Amino acid sequence: MPEHFRYIDWIDVGKIYAEDMWNYDVYKEISAYKGPVLILHGDRDHTVPMRYAKRAQKAYANATLKVISGGGHEFFGQAFNQVLAEMNTFFEQEGLYK
């Protein structure tokens, strides 16, 4: 067994993972995708800042960002209904319903 997998511990298992992820550019990776993308982000999301959604929108060649009023990191109640409506519209526009 490789040395870095000998212990189930973040320091031992995670060192290589952390080093690889530190240099990983997710925005470069997603920019290779040219298809349509719908990004839904709640205006009350305290987990992921809005700047990440905006940066992802710029990275994708064909992305639409919809800000969900009252939505947090997860969508409940009216925010959930808004998400469903946005997804339905997106899927219809992209011809994804048969």
CA distance 31 to 72: 26
Token pair recorded at residue 1? 């067994």
d(CA 27, CA 59): 6
Domain ranges of the chain: 8-93
- Report the CATH fold assignment for 8-93: Rossmann fold (3.40.50)
Residue 14: pLDDT over 80: no
- Residue 1: pLDDT band by 50, 70, 90 thresholds? very low
Closest CA to 82 of 66, 98, 64, 61: 66
* Mean pLDDT to the nearest integer, 29-48: 97
| pLDDT > 80? residue 7 | no
Q: Which of 74, 29, 28 is nearest to 47 (CA)?
A: 74
